[in-house]
Amino acid sequence: MNSKLFKLLLAFALFGIALGFFGILYEGVVYGPKMLGNSPARMVFWKDFYLVISPMIYYLPWNPLGMVTTIIAYIIARRRVLIFRKRLLYAILLQELSFIITVYIVKGIDMKTAFTDISQYANLIPHKTMLFNFLSIVRILASGTAMICLFQANLENAADNKLQERKPYSL
């Protein structure tokens, strides 16, 4: 598709999903493993940390906007080659999986362990930190694979545009 709008949609979708991916990657590689040792004390540290800095800039609004933009690009690309649409569909489905896991982590784990009275949930913290780390791995894989699918779709779209530009004119 040679539309500038379509190119911008794909680029913005990739930007939003990539920003969300790197936020998830940071959580999974830095934040999650640090919670494993002496979990209640770590929760007090992170609770104080979140009073100063909010991680929401990595999730809202860019990641959901990237997902919505990918859905719009998929709808616009209904006349494209099947493999191109499949890449966009895989990116959408994997991002939805990552988003569902993120909602569960925020509602089921973070709200109980980092944003409430920690002593109330002290006995759940070791279990919740293990669950958080496992779900973070799944989330990293899903979001990373979605980003790869969307990047491949961007490359394929750019290659199609180059082919259309080089077609010789026929009489």
Residues 17-56: tens digit of each pLDDT: 999 999 899 888 988 887 777 667 777 777 777 777 766 6
**What confidence tens digit (pLDDT) does each residue in 76-116 have?**
988 888 889 999 999 999 999 999 999 898 888 877 766 67
Residue extents of the structural domains in the chain? 4-164
At 53, list the tokens.
Answer: 């800095």
Given a contact cutoff of 8 angstroms between Cβ atoms, the answer to whether 62 and 15 are in contact is: yes
Distance of CA 30 to the CA centre of its chain: 17
Nearest alpha carbon to residue 9 among 79, 73, 99: 73
Rounded to whole angstroms, the maximal C-alpha distance in the chain is: 80
pTM of the model: 0.82
Nearest alpha carbon to residue 14 among 26, 22, 2: 22
Given a contact cutoff of 8 angstroms between Cβ atoms, the answer to whether 98 and 116 are in contact is: no
